[in-house]
Amino acid sequence: MDPERPLPQPITPEAKPYWDGLKEGALMLPRCTACGSTFFYPRILCPRCGARDIGWIKASGRGTLYSFAIAHQSINRAMKVPPPYVLAMVELAEGPRMLTNLVNVTPDPKALRCDMPVRVVFSKLTDDVTIPLWEPAS
Amino acid sequence: MRELSSAACIVGVDESDEIGVLPGKSQLSLHLEAVTNAVRDAGLPLRDVDGIFTAGQHSPALLGEALGITPRYVDGTSVGGCSFIIMVEHAVAALHHGLCDVAVISHGESGRSGVGVTRARDTALSGQYEIPYGFGAAPTWFSLITTRHMHEYGTTLEQWAQVAVSTRAWACLNPKAMHRKPITVADVLNSRPVVWPFNLLNICLVTDGGGAVVLTRPDRARDCAKKPVWVRGTGEATEHVSLTQMKTLTFSEATRLSGQRAFAMAGVTARDFDHIMLYDAFTSGPPLMLEALGLAKPGEGVHFFEEGRSTPGGALPINTNGGGLSYTHTGMYGIFPIIEAVRQQRGEAGARQVPNAKLSLVNGMGGMLSAAGTLVLSGER
């Protein structure tokens, strides 16, 4: 359990497959049935073609570190993970990007570089909520 | 679009009575001070105002009520700190079509002291996908833009620091600026780390204050107290809100489009300006804006801040009020670069006056380069 983080809220109905998947250890992504585009965050239409026929795929859990920053303080006061920690934007192998933390790494710019390979790890916050974090993939 | 070029002019600008740290003034009072001061600057009676434009917690209806005005035109566009810049475009269109005769754009924000402020809520999107990771304030997001820029173009911490040094040099000449002591690149690099790659001096101030801008049509402007400043071009655009939806993290499409539209309306090019105001929430912001606006190639915006080019006496003065970095930054800063550009075009900027300023560029962002507004302002029609 990881009680140090603000819980995600409010969870919205269109994101239920995403949150349900994480509880089972799967990173699920919305995918447009019409044009095949995979996107994130979940919404009821495809931001590429506008179609409202959205399915879900299980992501590979692989990606690259698109960008990062080192938080030396938590400006967001609800965040209780002790700084320094790595704020990250990951580009998933499937295309979309997500904000996250890079963990299991020294929070030092010298230990990190943009485009380094990363893989998903799951962090259980409560019995109902698990969030995806990412770590270096050697 | 060309018909809107110089269809209206700015006839009044001012800040609230004071700006800075103001624990004794509510957000609403900051609005009311700014509006009354700007209307007085225009030489117009308050009762002539019939168009109210404002963003933030107080609606234009509330502002009308508090001012004792029943406006016939209201605009509450709220796309971040550049909303007031975008509202100049909206005001020009409304004035041109006779939907109002005297437009006031007002900003008031108790950003530091929080007097008369209700706490903003996170959206369902940031609440689910960003807040649990410690995101939730501008430096946590804009740092990602900055790191990626350093990766792609080799820009350095020393180069970002130069932006803070240049902007501080201007603040030293502005009696209203919060910080008026010169700084060096080393001072920036040695200031307290907040969110790498940002130290404290890479990040804007957090202050209390207000500002307002009054516009009218050229026929009415003749009766105003001061020389009008012509709105020769305007442009606006939005690209994203969530940073994950920005197509290229190092290049703001919203900024590019807003600039392109404003330059086309004014019939000018990116090279024609002799005075530039850019929204500097972070030291990396202005260089990226210069790149998106076409004044610099991608990766080369920082060169504008080197070798004294942007500083007092330099070839291309940038952020002559001292910017969000050193003058004031209430939260939604966008009204203040407009005020400064008008003062420069009027020739009333005192010790920081840019000699013979003929054409000012004002560009601001909303959110994380998410929205953008651009203005081309000139003392000549």
| Contact (CB<8Å) B195/A87 | yes
Q: Is B194 part of the contact surface with chain A (CB cutoff 8 Å)?
A: yes
CATH 2.20.28 residue ranges in chain A? Answer: 9-58
Phi–psi pair at B199, nearest 5 degrees:
-95, 175
Chain B nearest-CA residue for A97: B244
Mean pLDDT of B73-79: 97
Q: Do B136 and A115 touch (CB under 8 A)?
A: no
Helix intervals (H) in chain B = 27-42, 60-67, 83-96, 124-129, 138-153, 157-171, 185-190, 218-221, 253-266, 285-292, 335-346
Domain with CATH 2.40.50 in chain A: 60-138
Q: What is the structure's pLDDT at B123?
A: 79
Residue found by looking up tokens 């270096």 in the block: A136
> Given CB atoms, is B200 within the 8 Å cutoff of chain A?
no
Cα B64 from Cα B67, distance rounded (Å)? 5
Burial of A103 by CB count in 10 Å (0-12 exposed, 13-18 middle, 19+ buried)? Answer: middle
B205 with B330: CB under 8 angstroms? Answer: no
Average pLDDT over residues B97-103: 98
Question: Which B residues, 6 through 45, put their C-beta within 8 Å of a C-beta on chain A?
Answer: none
Q: Which residues of A touch B194 (CB under 8 A)?
A: 72-73, 75
pLDDT confidence of A2, banded at 50, 70, 90? Answer: low
| Strands across the sheet containing B102-110 | B73-75, B51-54, B102-110, B208-216, B9-15, B229-238, B371-378, B360-366, B275-278
DSSP B304: G
To the nearest whole angstrom, how far is the Cα of B212 from the nearest Cα of chain A?
30
- The CATH number of A9-58 is 2.20.28
| Closest C-alpha to A5, from A66, A63, A70, A85 | A85
Q: Residues B129, A9: contact at Cβ < 8 Å?
A: no
Q: Is the CATH number 1.10.10.10 carried by domain B2-115+205-378?
A: no
Spatial contact of B128 and A12, defined as CB atoms under 8 Å apart? yes
Which residue shows structure tokens 């969000």? Answer: B324
Q: φ, ψ for residue A80 (rounded to 5)?
A: -105, 0
CB spacing of B147 vs A131 below 8 angstroms: no
Q: Which of A79, A109, A131 sits opposite B196 (nearest CB)?
A: A109
What is the secondary structure of A8-76 as a DSSP string? P-SPPGGGHHHHHHHHTT--EEEEETTT--B-SS--SS-TTT----EEEEE--SEEEEEEEEEESS-SS
- Closest-CA residue of B relative to A43 is B125
Cross-chain residue pair A89–B243, CB shorter than 8 Å: yes
What is residue B54's predicted lDDT score, i.e. its pLDDT?
98
Question: What pLDDT is recorded for position B293?
Answer: 98
Find tokens 């004014």 and name the residue: B266
- B322 contacts B336 by C-beta, under 8 angstroms: no
Angle, CA of B28, B30 and B33, to the nearest 5°:
110
Mean pLDDT on B95-110: 98
Chain B residue numbers with beta carbons less than 8 Å from the beta carbon of A124 are none
At A3, the pLDDT band (50, 70, 90 cuts) reads low
Confidence of residue B249 (pLDDT cuts 50, 70, 90): very high
Q: Do A87 and B143 touch (CB under 8 A)?
A: yes
CATH fold label, A60-138? OB fold (Dihydrolipoamide Acetyltransferase, E2P) (2.40.50)
Active site amino acids of B: 279, 327
List the single residue in B with minimal CA-CA distance to A47.
B245
**pLDDT for A76:** 82
Q: Using alpha carbons, list the distances in angstroms from residue B30 to B12, B55, B59, B129, B137.
A: 17, 13, 14, 35, 24
pLDDT in tens, B305-322: 998 899 999 999 999 999
Q: List pLDDT tens digits, range B151-197.
A: 999 999 999 999 999 999 999 999 999 999 999 999 999 999 999 99
Alpha carbons within 13 angstroms on the beta-carbon side of residue B37 total: 20
Residue-level pLDDT at A80 = 93
